[in-house]
Amino acid sequence: MGYDIVLTIGALSLTGIGIAAAATLKGWQGWLELKKLELASGGPRADAPTGTGGGRIEMADLKERVRKLEQIASGIDY
């Protein structure tokens, strides 16, 4: 009788962890899709005037941020 309770609790715990993992994975995939859409829509627009440096400045800023994040991730102080 004691093993039945342990098995039931174990099965319910495993089911709960599986549901939480599936929900987390679904949320992560949604977030990645959102970021892909943001990146795709952030490109040069056809109606943007040519000769403006705003897009290039923003891209340089983003590249600098990525570089700093990569340094932090690798443990390098800057």
pLDDT tens for the chain, residues 1 to 78: 688 999 999 999 999 999 999 999 999 999 999 888 888 887 545 555 555 566 778 888 889 898 888 888 888 765
> Could you identify the residue written with the tokens 């495993």?
14
Q: State the Cα–Cα distance between residues 52 and 44, nearest whole angstrom.
A: 11
Residue 62 lies in a domain: no
| Closest by Cα among 38, 39, 41, 43 to 55 | 43
Residue 35 lies in a domain: yes
Residue 58 lies in a domain: no
Residue 4 lies in a domain: yes
Q: How many structural domains are present in the chain?
A: 1
Residue 51 lies in a domain: no
Q: State the Cα–Cα distance between residues 66 and 70, nearest whole angstrom.
A: 6
| Closest by Cα among 45, 27, 44 to 35 | 27
Residue 36 lies in a domain: yes
Q: Which residue segment(s) compose the domain that 19 sits in?
A: 1-42
